[in-house]
Structure 1
Amino acid sequence: MQHHPRRAAIAAGILLTAAVGTTIPASASASAQAEASRQTPATPLVVNARWGGHCSYDRIVIDVRGTMPPVTVKPVRELRYDGTGAKVPLAGKHFLEIRLSPAAAHNEAGRSVYQGPKLLKIHLPKLKGLALTGDFEGTVTFGAAFHTKPTYKTFKLHSPERFVVDISHTNRCR
């Protein structure tokens, strides 16, 4: 009789795994999955937007609960509310549209989870206004207003999930 310690260890691991799997009641597994789904929503939820001024850039931060959805940022000629098409009343000559999809700013019951500004005039070197322009058909959209053409970069931050737009300007701290 030959001894094969590696095969014996693999076989023991398989048997142990099978035994552990059969001892966990299905209800415990289902409750663990339900708990996980309460903590991480199926659809990412946009819960806040904030802004700040820094020496050489203005910053927009969008807070998301859940997994960060794909985000697009693009210049547009004007800002319009999703769904109605009404013009957004923000003064500016240049605008950025920030679109998160799939995402929502409301929960499954239809109540808003978004705590940030809906329409706000801002007095920073570049950023002059910010608006929530849509929470419609699985897409959340923001509009940002500027008097001059913005130069910007975007990135994502994690734990908690955030999407950031930095709009550069000349250094005002020197």
Structure 2
Amino acid sequence: MIHPRLRQFVALATGALLAACLSFAAPASASTHTAATQTQTPLVVNARWGGHPTFDRIVIDLQGYVPTVTVTPVSQLIYDGSGKPVPLAGKHFLEIRLNPAAAHNDAGQSVYKGPKLQKIYLSKLKGMALTGDYEGYVTFGAAFDTLPYYRAYTLHSPERFVVDIAH
């Protein structure tokens, strides 16, 4: 009869050896590719909007994954970097900030195909602007005549960030 302590030791040693062999069996390129894919900065490629019977919608299209996004009411819209005011009429504004994100590729060329400054004639949404693509942040501003009541969320396949503004 094998002593219980010896049986436990053999079982633990066998498990450790099996785990070590499995980790060596995985190709190095597979783990490197996964890490590179997860750390690649998502690209902001478009922004669009639409009017619906009970809400207006803003959609920001991305390549890659949806990064952290904050939607913040602000007293005015300013361009990142310069600090100059964004020329959009309105009494209320939302700042939509994505991080990490870029609207340009590694060569510095813009991948963003949407409008940079646009007056809009929807029930609530009156204007939108790309206000920054700076140091890992992409920022948009949205203008409203009345206080916006909104809901923000992500959608997948394709990746996009959505803000619905109630009428």
Tell me the TM-score normalised to structure 1 length: 0.78
CA distance in 1, matches of 2:92, 2:74: 7
CA distance in 2, matches of 1:108, 1:40: 16
Instruction: Report the equivalent of 1:95.
Output: 93
Instruction: Report the equivalent of 1:111.
Output: 109
CA contact (8 A) 1:41 1:66 kept: no
CA distance in 1, matches of 2:135, 2:23: 40
Instruction: Report the equivalent of 1:84.
Output: 82
What 5-or-longer segments of structure 2 have no aligned partner?
Answer: 1-18
Instruction: Report the equivalent of 2:130.
Output: 132
**How many angstroms does 1:76 deviate by?**
0.2
Number of positions where the alignment pairs a residue of Structure 1 with one of Structure 2: 165
Q: Percent identity?
A: 65
What 5-or-longer segments of structure 1 have no aligned partner?
Answer: 1-16, 170-174
CA contact (8 A) 1:41 1:65 kept: no
Instruction: Report the equivalent of 2:165.
Output: 167
Amino acid at match of 1:152: Y
Amino acid at match of 1:153: R
Instruction: Report the equivalent of 2:72.
Output: 74
Instruction: Report the equivalent of 1:147.
Output: 145
User: Cα 1:39–1:113, aligned 2, differ >3 Å: closer, same or farther?
Assistant: farther
Instruction: Report the equivalent of 1:54.
Output: 52
Q: Deviations over 1:73-116 (max 9, x none)?
A: 01000000000001000000000000001110000010000011
Question: CA RMSD for the aligned pairs?
Answer: 2.6
Amino acid at match of 1:155: Y
Tell me the TM-score normalised to structure 2 length: 0.81
CA distance in 1, matches of 2:145, 2:156: 31
CA distance in 2, matches of 1:123, 1:106: 29
Query: Which consecutive segments of 4 or more residues in structure 1 shift more than 3 A?
Result: 17-24, 31-41
CA distance in 2, matches of 1:46, 1:86: 22
**How many angstroms does 1:160 deviate by?**
1.0
- Tell me whether 1:64 sits opposite 2:72 in the alignment: no
**How many angstroms does 1:36 deviate by?**
6.8
Q: Deviations over 1:8-55 (max 9, x none)?
A: xxxxxxxxx99999899xxx86x7678778977700111100000000
Q: Secondary structure at the match of 1:145?
A: strand
